[in-house]
Amino acid sequence: MKILMVGSGGREHALIKKLKESPKCTKLYCAPGNGGISRDAETVNIGAMDIENMVKFAKDKAIDLVFVAPDDPLAAGMVDAMNDAGIRAFGPNENAAIIEASKVFSKNLMKKYNIPTAKYEVFDDAKKAMEYVEKENTVPVVVKADGLALGKGVIIAQTIDEAKAAIKSIMEDKQFGDSGNNIVIEEFLTGPEVSVLAFTDGKVVKPMVSSKDHKRAYDNDEGLNTGGMGTVSPNPYYSDEIAKECYDTIFVPTIEAMSKEGRPFKGCLYFGLMITPNGPKVIEYNARFGDPEAQVVLPRLKTDLVDICEAVIDEKLADIDVEWYDGATACIVMASGGYPLAYKKGIEISGLDKNGSVSGAVVYHAGTKLENGKFLTNGGRVLGVTAKADTLDEALKKAYAAVDKIHFDGAHFRKDIGRTK
């Protein structure tokens, strides 16, 4: 099979490495890809949002499977366009990808179908939103841009003034563009966070092993929210009992709700959960693999990923056993100095071999380019250094030992990934 991966980050690199393990995979392309991905797949200079040229490339190369990994092209209907052209594609259709593309849609869906989530209100007027937070007078409070915002459209305000400033920046200053035309203001939940990715064909849902993401830029959960500074799997807070409760009260009801709404979801659905004192609740949905969750979940997947993709597309997920390796994985993200704000690009990375790897770990490239045989930084999150072991402590030791072998000027990474308070 000839496979085309759409996207250019660490998640895509993790998916490519897993797809490469399949004996069915004979040729792998990635558009647009990055420096490290170019060592595992043939990179193609087509932007992830260039639907027309992506479809043309898939037809010209007689691609057997297109894997649409990022949120933007899913929300823009790339899977629909591939299907219309007679090309098999993994990922939700545009009308199902709305579960991530609109926070307002997903919150209203949960309310309608009694799926546990935080209490919330929706606003399209900044003045009314500010009046609401003043009247409620409860902090912390969560302010969310309705649309896609690179994982950064969620602000946890510690004071009423911070909440009003967040409303202003999203709705009036248009920090996230049109994504902030509507906002959701919701109650602040407390408890451990859990990420659970799940394969679903619109009828059956098969959850993957759990993970824990670390969103804040600096140790002790300080600094700004990022796209994710590191992950571990399994999540230490996610017991078998909680997993069963999530399956019964969240996972299955969500898939059934989407089908009832005429938006059957096929692909990978990400459940961002919080284990509150009142049980697990949904913080957010994503319509695709999380990044960097994919980097710790996929190395534990035993079943052929190509087989799973085909079963999802053909709505035969019930017929396949999805099996996992025991043990644990840890991913440490090495980021550019200044991330998630301004940062430099084009800084040489030392310590990697010619394939962009180091011994003792797998290095997933997120923001790199390859020039004259050298790997250079080309993004905010640069590398995801991932190790696997029998225990989480061992996996963390291996991952941090590998991080110590890699250097680029300004590099920063958290030293407390996987630490439970």
pLDDT at 421: 56
pLDDT of 95 over the 70 cut = yes
pLDDT tens string 26-65: 999 999 999 999 999 999 999 999 999 999 999 999 999 9
Torsional sign, CA 221, 181, 97, 24: negative
Average pLDDT for residues 380-389, to the nearest whole number?
98
Looking at residue 150, its pLDDT comes to: 72
191-230: per-residue pLDDT in tens? 999 999 999 999 999 999 999 999 999 999 999 889 999 9
Q: What is d(CA 52, CA 63) in angstroms, rounded to the nearest whole number?
A: 15
- Alpha helices for 288-373 (secondary structure H): 294-297, 305-313
Position 328 confidence tier, pLDDT thresholds 50, 70, 90: very high
Question: For the residues 259-286, what does the mean pLDDT come to?
Answer: 97
As a whole number, the mean pLDDT across the chain is: 96
Per-residue confidence band for 152, with pLDDT thresholds at 50, 70 and 90? confident
pLDDT of residue 278: 93
Going through 188-253 in order, the beta strands assigned E by DSSP cover 193-201, 205-207, 212-213, 216-218, 222-225, 230-233
Give the mean pLDDT of 290-314: 98
Q: Which domains does the chain have, with CATH numbers?
A: 2-93 (3.40.50.20), 125-181 (3.30.1490.20), 193-319 (3.30.470.20), 328-403 (3.90.600.10)
pLDDT of residue 419: 85
**pLDDT value of residue 414:** 98
Three-state secondary structure readout of 367-419 = CEEEECCEEEECCCEEEEEEEEECCHHHHHHHHHHHHCCCECCCCECCCCCCC
| Closest to 300 in 3D by CA, of 386, 403, 393 | 386
Are 195 and 270 in contact, with CB atoms under 8 Å apart?
A: yes
420 pLDDT exceeds 80?
no
Indicate the SS3 state at residue 271.
strand
CB 33 within 8 A of CB 12: yes
